A and B are shown apart, each in its own frame.
Chain A
């Protein structure tokens, strides 16, 4: 029992960590693009990014399940070319979680970048700095609190995710069984004590993470950094 508890918790945090790391790499360019562009496609891209906020996770999970199934062309193509099967696997959970938590990373970074004075980037350009250089040395360091919010909320949200994981991953111990699924499973089996062990752990960790974020953001505010 103890072993399976730690295995599940480890998997849960691994999933959240991978998802957050990937989201950071994907989220910064998307947020930067959205904060700069005047393109007519902007509303469409914003709508797509925000979809996971309003859709039931089961809808997203259902379509991802169909798309990644080896019986369909995309799933088959992944399997023959990359030997990658995304349904009922850890890799699949990571992909699904990245899509599902995308708005939680993009929104804070985008609003952070949009709130910076336009003249920051213009000043950097007149100092001979490229757009990439400006982004990494001027813009991002001045939205530290937005970055932190994006990272932590994405992480916490991935830990708390249930529907997508259930649809995409199922409940394979050591592969796709994460804490939220385990709680559901244990309650079904009337193992309330184990369910409580999972639930209380999630409760405490989530609270601790959020407390830390708000404390750090307060520190940023006081030192004049957004």
Chain B
């Protein structure tokens, strides 16, 4: 059980505010910290990792005290069993992919684990390359793999998919879910993308003004959306073409392009690359079994 109870003064866009957290994070689940940028989400991860020091409070993980202002305990990051995936991945350019993973390995004899993780993250073919030769999505996988090598008690991910395009993000979300279900590592993921909360989260905390304003299963928290009797998808416009008096807008949703019609006025506010929500009343859905 991970217990967080701390406060820390932060400088935000509207002056200083207090980040005050008193929560328990469920084990073996993927929990999500959701909120606007600048709300202090990343700071919570950094405090948990020991990279930032809170002013007061206590952090315990499975009964082990990681931080306690009262008992004057503050374990350095090296002594905390964490895996941290940074927003910029922070892969070491002087090492190959395999080198990055081996560097992270505590017990150098445990090469089998590295093999397994390379397999799981589909990086085996790339293992002898330097990270700067990889695509963004591949680098992201290496960062996750490297964080997993130490078998951390908690995996911390700071907006891990934000630098990727929509299609790659969707693919990696699937892969990530797959890994999470296999390894059951307790995970705390930071995001400001609501579709990610839905897709990945077992549990979500919403952070507002330095406090957790809501928590629960994603569908409970953002409930209205889920039960409105509509279909609603987040997507990215890939093309807008004119067809007689109407426009056809192609939107990439997950890995598929969906075409929708729009009028002249609506199209004025849209451009290729915009993120849009595609919604439809579900009065005539066509339901076909995917696994006949």
The interface of chain A, by Cβ under 8 A from chain B, is 117, 119-120, 122-130, 137-138, 141-142, 224-225
Q: Looking across the interface, which residue of chain A has its beta carbon closest to that of B79?
A: A128
Q: Which of B49, B78, B86, B92 has a CB less than 8 Å from the CB of A130?
A: B78
Q: A119-B88, A123-B84, A129-B78 are in contact. List 14 more A-B contacts (CB 8 A).
A: A117-B90, A119-B90, A122-B90, A123-B90, A125-B50, A126-B80, A126-B84, A126-B147, A127-B104, A127-B146, A129-B103, A130-B78, A138-B94, A224-B130
Is A142's CB under 8 angstroms from B93's CB?
yes
Bound complex: CA of A128 vs CA of B104, how far in Å?
A: 8
B132: which A residues are within 8 A, CB to CB?
Answer: 224
10 contacts between A and B (CB under 8 A): A117-B88, A117-B90, A119-B86, A123-B86, A125-B50, A126-B82, A127-B146, A128-B104, A129-B78, A138-B92
B106 on the A face (CB < 8 A) = yes
Is A120's CB under 8 angstroms from B92's CB?
yes
Is A137's CB under 8 angstroms from B103's CB?
yes
Chain B, 65-87, contact with A by CB distance < 8 Å: what is the 0/1 string?
00000000000111110111010
Chain B nearest CB: distance from A78 CB in Å? 41
B50: which A residues are within 8 A, CB to CB?
Answer: 125
Bound complex: CA of A164 vs CA of B111, how far in Å?
A: 55
Bound complex: CA of A83 vs CA of B201, how far in Å?
A: 72
Chain A nearest CB: distance from B135 CB in Å? 15
B51 on the A face (CB < 8 A) = yes
Q: Looking across the interface, which residue of chain A has its beta carbon closest to that of B52?
A: A122
Chain B nearest CB: distance from A155 CB in Å? 24
Is B93's CB under 8 angstroms from A122's CB?
no
Bound complex: CA of A22 vs CA of B111, how far in Å?
A: 39
Is A224's CB under 8 angstroms from B84's CB?
no
B169: which A residues are within 8 A, CB to CB?
Answer: none
Q: Looking across the interface, which residue of chain B has its beta carbon closest to that of A126?
A: B84
Bound complex: CA of A126 vs CA of B77, how far in Å?
A: 5
Bound complex: CA of A129 vs CA of B106, how far in Å?
A: 9
Chain B, 178-212, contact with A by CB distance < 8 Å: what is the 0/1 string?
00000000000000000000000000000000000
The interface of chain B, by Cβ under 8 A from chain A, is 49-51, 76-80, 82-84, 86, 88, 90, 92-94, 103-104, 106, 130, 132, 146-147, 150
Is A122's CB under 8 angstroms from B150's CB?
no
Q: Is the interface of A mostly helix, strand, loop or mixed?
A: helix
Is B77's CB under 8 angstroms from A122's CB?
yes
Bound complex: CA of A206 vs CA of B217, how far in Å?
A: 69
Bound complex: CA of A224 vs CA of B96, how far in Å?
A: 13
Bound complex: CA of A138 vs CA of B83, how far in Å?
A: 17
- Which of A125, A130, A137 has the most chain B CB atoms closer than 10 A to its own CB? A125
Is A120's CB under 8 angstroms from B90's CB?
yes
Bound complex: CA of A222 vs CA of B82, how far in Å?
A: 35
Bound complex: CA of A126 vs CA of B83, how far in Å?
A: 7
Bound complex: CA of A138 vs CA of B106, how far in Å?
A: 16
- Which of B50, B79, B88, B90 has the most chain A CB atoms closer than 10 A to its own CB? B90
Chain A nearest CB: distance from B20 CB in Å? 24
A127: which B residues are within 8 A, CB to CB?
Answer: 103-104, 146, 150
Chain A nearest CB: distance from B243 CB in Å? 46
Chain A nearest CB: distance from B250 CB in Å? 36
- Which of A122, A124, A127, A138 has the most chain B CB atoms closer than 10 A to its own CB? A127
Chain A nearest CB: distance from B140 CB in Å? 14
Bound complex: CA of A224 vs CA of B76, how far in Å?
A: 32
B78: which A residues are within 8 A, CB to CB?
Answer: 125, 128-130
Chain A nearest CB: distance from B240 CB in Å? 37
Q: Looking across the interface, which residue of chain B has its beta carbon closest to that of A119?
A: B90
Is B92's CB under 8 angstroms from A122's CB?
no
B86: which A residues are within 8 A, CB to CB?
Answer: 119, 122-123
Q: Which of A119, A130, A225 has a CB less than 8 Å from the CB of B93?
A: A225
Chain A nearest CB: distance from B144 CB in Å? 13
B104: which A residues are within 8 A, CB to CB?
Answer: 127-128
Q: Beyond A122-B51, A122-B84, A123-B86, is A141–B94 a contact (Cβ under 8 Å)?
A: yes
Bound complex: CA of A186 vs CA of B245, how far in Å?
A: 92
B92: which A residues are within 8 A, CB to CB?
Answer: 120, 123-124, 138, 142
Chain B nearest CB: distance from A75 CB in Å? 44
A142: which B residues are within 8 A, CB to CB?
Answer: 92-94
Chain A nearest CB: distance from B54 CB in Å? 17
Bound complex: CA of A120 vs CA of B90, how far in Å?
A: 5
Chain A nearest CB: distance from B270 CB in Å? 36
Q: Looking across the interface, which residue of chain A has its beta carbon closest to that of B146?
A: A127
